A and B are shown apart, each in its own frame.
Chain A
Amino acid sequence: MDINESLQRAEQILSTWAPVALHPSPERVDVSLPDKWLKAAVLALRDAKWGYLSAITGMDHPGTVEPVTEEQRWQRLENEGENATGGESREGTLEVLYHFCEGAAVLTLRVSVRYSFPVLPSICGIIPAATLYERELSEMFGIRLVGTPNVDKLLLPDDWPDGVFPLRKSFHGLTEVEKSGPEVKK
């Protein structure tokens, strides 16, 4: 099937939820969605038999932290002069990319969640094969998927500490305390 035809059909199917579509390259179309419409959009794609779910990618976008001490604030004023914004902080977000493929065409649904509320609806009810991708996503990025059938560990060790997500940018290895968790018997 023609690539452009596939991409146009995808845009048409999704136009109800996301009027703006981006074309990062000729064979791709990217659509950003609010999380509440994710399931509806996936269902519409399935009903229209558009392609198959190829992968789910997680991405971490750490936020900027407001300077905490008086000294840091002064430092900032000195560095940025009059343009200093007065220490705005931006909360980090986690972005999830659902890649669908049909022939050579690749459609990406992009959904973002905030660090403080990293929750997304599961799409396993619509696409059963997504369960392994969702388990990987929640382990590596700490996103809670509501309604996913299995939340057991898939890839990380059984004694991996709770609340540590290795693919977040802030992860640089386990601390000694985390390594020798309470279960370890000497």
Chain B
Amino acid sequence: MSKTRKRKSNKTWERVDGRKQDELRPIHIESGVLPNADGSAYIEMGRNKIIAGVYGPREMHPKRLSKPNEGVLRVRYHMAPFSVDPRRSPAPSRRDTEISMVMRDALEPAMFLERYPRSAIDVYVEIIQADGGTRCASINAAAVALADAGIPMKDLVAACAAGKYDGKIIVDLGDYEDKKGESDVPVAYMPKFDQVTLLQMEGIMTREETEECIKQAVEGCKKVYEIQKEALKKKYGMIQGEAAAPEPEAEAEAEPEEAPAEETQKPEGHVDVDEPEEEEKQ
């Protein structure tokens, strides 16, 4: 089957899963999936299934690793033993350590770590099912989880890979393309600053091909970015819909005068029945 396809060559060249050259795998992101974490996200990128959990900013243990002038971002990338076939040892491998490091470096530029001296922000990423491009998918999930945790960020970080397979430049490589292809270039990108925060390359390509790969990967990142934003907003959109449904009239009444300024006030916390305090902060 695949041989006939190849022979027809230029006209009907198709990727293994039938995607177009610049087409991403279907992506589904959900935020706030772990009730006990400060922030979390679940991503399905093709057949990748990944959960990211964020804790912090919190006190750092061991204390000697903390920095007096800024916070420390710690990322743990871990693949579940059953995430790949054959089973993988659960102990952290060389590869896990490397990906943890590049993920941290990819996420750090988007954060205001100087606001949290002596603290740590922990990101735990667990690969439940792997299908190529897990480091990109993990970065996508981690960025959404960080935003879900309410940690201030300059921008979301989106990641996407591009590479060369069968002599063609393709975007978002799957497991098969990753292994059989000539080259793989994962890129993490902050769309608002037009900044690349992760750039790795594996395999052999010419200079022109590499440049084309980066360009294509950045385009892919922009598509992912939109999905990330959607996922973060979706959580509230749903509740808003539910709440608005029962009494639409009451809401219409209250909105014009009361609503806009309501939350800007930060009165003091303590209130008694007989003596309500009405002091304002700021």
Are these two chains actual partners, yes or no? Answer: no
B residues in contact (CB < 8 Å) with A: none
A residues in contact (CB < 8 Å) with B: none
